[in-house]
Amino acid sequence: MRITTWNVNSIKQRVGHLLGFLDEAKPDVVCLQELKCQDASFPREEIEAAGYAVETLGQKAYNGVALLVRAPLQYTQLLRGLPGDAEDEQARYIEALVHGEGVAPVRVASIYLPNGNPAPGPKYSYKLAFMARLRSHARALMTTEEALVLAGDFNVIPEPEDAADPSVWTQDALFLPETRRAFRALLAEGFTDGLRACEPSAGLYTFWDYQAGCWPRNQGIRIDHLLLSPQAADRLVSASVQRHLRGLEKPSDHVPVTVELSDG
């Protein structure tokens, strides 16, 4: 089972890129973030025609997450929204159990974690609260001993080697010590960083800002992650970054990241 996460930074602008990627890579599950559209505006018909079932949690102009599941795989137990705050209206979390004949089930979540800037401030407080809720929900899911993959744009630079120039980010919410502590606390619930488990070397990035020639100079950061429960980590075959998609015309500033799990 190939599971991909990709912040498309507006599905309406990148639907052609997405369809090309689906045809090229044929991932089984795709976790999308930053749709920037409501559910009714999502290009469902085009993606269904490519062989994928679609579930979205959209929001006008901001945020938005989706799960795409390629036939013949199916999904059940859909959860739209992260538990823990009934007042939270931001579309940042969607989860389902993916399964099929001859394929052991995997619970997959698509997550768009808050950016948190400027920090300190209410946006940063919301980021940390969201991370605490995510950790609490993940801890509850871990008790089921299912294969679980938390995939998405976490807006967290975990370690200095995850940035081309860490000094640029020292005052940014993505790299503040409290952010990194919260991410490590989530990992400490028993998760494996899928990409790092396969590719420990530095210089591995998933995001390049549109400004100041960051892409040509490879001034990137790694903020898109797939976190695997022990049961999922036991099935980990490979992990990769689809870096070439950043070189497309009018690309997202993020690129897809993919893990492959054995059928179990």
**Among 52, 75, 124, 153, which one carries the catalytic annotation?**
153
In sequence order, the 6+-apart residues with CB closer than 8 A to the CB of 27 are: 2, 3, 4, 21, 70, 256, 258
Residue found under tokens 């959860």: 79
161 is in an annotated binding site: no
Q: Is 7 marked as a binding-site residue?
A: yes
Exactly one of 99, 137, 225, 254 is catalytic; which is it? Answer: 254
Active site residue 153: yes
Distance CA 17, CA 64 (A): 18
88 has binding-site annotation: no
Q: Which of 75, 112, 124, 205 is catalytic?
A: 112
23 annotated binding-site participant: no
Phi and psi angles of residue 263, each rounded to the nearest 5 degrees, phi first: -70, -10
Is 218 labeled as ligand-binding? Answer: no
- Is residue 45 annotated as involved in ligand binding? no
Known catalytic residues?
A: 112, 153, 254
Question: Binding site for Mg(2+): what residues are annotated?
Answer: 7, 34, 153, 155, 253-254
Question: Binding site: what residues are annotated?
Answer: 7, 34, 153, 155, 253-254
